[in-house]
Amino acid sequence: MSPPSLSLREVTKNFGQTAIIRGVDMDVAAGERHALIGPNGAGKTTLFNLISGRFPISSGEIHLDATRLDGLPPHRINRLGLSRSFQITSIFHRLSVYENIRCSLLWSRRYRYSFWHALGRQRALNEETERLLEELNLAERRAVQAGLLSYAEQRALEIGMTIAGGASMILLDEPTAGMSHSETEYAVALIRRVTQGKTLVMVEHDMRVVFDLADTITVLVYGKVIASGPPAAIRADSAVQEAYLGKVAA
């Protein structure tokens, strides 16, 4: 099955009188790694919140392949195969690391709201949980309460919970924020590994990560897309340099 594509048409979002997203058109091709960059307050996280259904959009349309996403609640969007992570780590903090991953697997493994399966006896489910823990390098921490993990471990768990359900469209919101250089390198390798064969959209501030990982870059400034294209084109774009990279280049 080929990974899905995502398209946004004339998407706007107002909070009261304030327009945060002012008519965004964006296309994410199937299977590409797409980076969303822009200065603070550009509306990158808000855009993620709109795509994933956390907030309703004010106008416009969002499509995942042929399916219209806007208007659907977050859990329905997730079940369609679009999964997102959070910039501020969002985990089940009183549950163990193991349970966090297992909970993220449950729906996609068709357990739904079952109150007749004993989780301990679901071999395929538990083996898949173990495999994911190994992949995330969290196997030794499986029994630890998630809230007690170190920051970098929590970020890894966050990514793990996002990809666990097998979604083919992955949205990562600043997965490397606040990480040291070596932690970032590790996280990038992890992201590369776990999003193999999927479509990835990520908000990222670290330009090394962006130019290392992305096939396409979209630049968002004050709720509008000012440029979109391959990294080389973005690097050369004068509007982008002025609005955003200019500060770095100067």
Could you list the residues that contact other proteins (CB under 8 A)? 52, 54, 73-75, 78-79, 83-84, 86, 90-95, 99, 102-104, 106-108, 111-120, 161-162, 164-165
Is the CB of residue 32 less than 8 Å from the CB of residue 215? yes
- Minimum distance between the CB of residue 235 and other proteins, rounded to whole angstroms? 33
Positive or negative, the Cα torsion across 147, 148, 152, 158? negative
Q: From the centroid of its chain, how far is CA 239?
A: 26
- Minimum distance between the CB of residue 249 and other proteins, rounded to whole angstroms? 37
Question: Measured between alpha carbons, how far is 239 from 246 in angstroms, rounded to an integer?
Answer: 9
Nearer to other proteins by C-beta: 93 or 131?
Answer: 93
Give Cβ neighbours of residue 124 (< 8 Å, ≥ 6 apart).
109
The number of residues in the chain equals 250
- Minimum distance between the CB of residue 151 and other proteins, rounded to whole angstroms? 17
Question: Measured between alpha carbons, how far is 144 from 165 in angstroms, rounded to an integer?
Answer: 21
- Minimum distance between the CB of residue 91 and other proteins, rounded to whole angstroms? 7
Q: How many of the other CB atoms lie within 10 Å of CB of 189? A: 10
- Minimum distance between the CB of residue 165 and other proteins, rounded to whole angstroms? 6
Radius of gyration of the chain from Cα atoms? 18
Is the CB of residue 90 less than 8 Å from the CB of residue 77? no
Nearer to other proteins by C-beta: 171 or 221?
Answer: 171
Give Cβ neighbours of residue 110 (< 8 Å, ≥ 6 apart).
none
Nearer to other proteins by C-beta: 91 or 136?
Answer: 91
Quote the DSSP letter at residue 7: E
Nearer to other proteins by C-beta: 71 or 73?
Answer: 73
Nearer to other proteins by C-beta: 73 or 230?
Answer: 73
Is the CB of residue 245 less than 8 Å from the CB of residue 217? no
- Minimum distance between the CB of residue 243 and other proteins, rounded to whole angstroms? 31
Nearer to other proteins by C-beta: 52 or 228?
Answer: 52
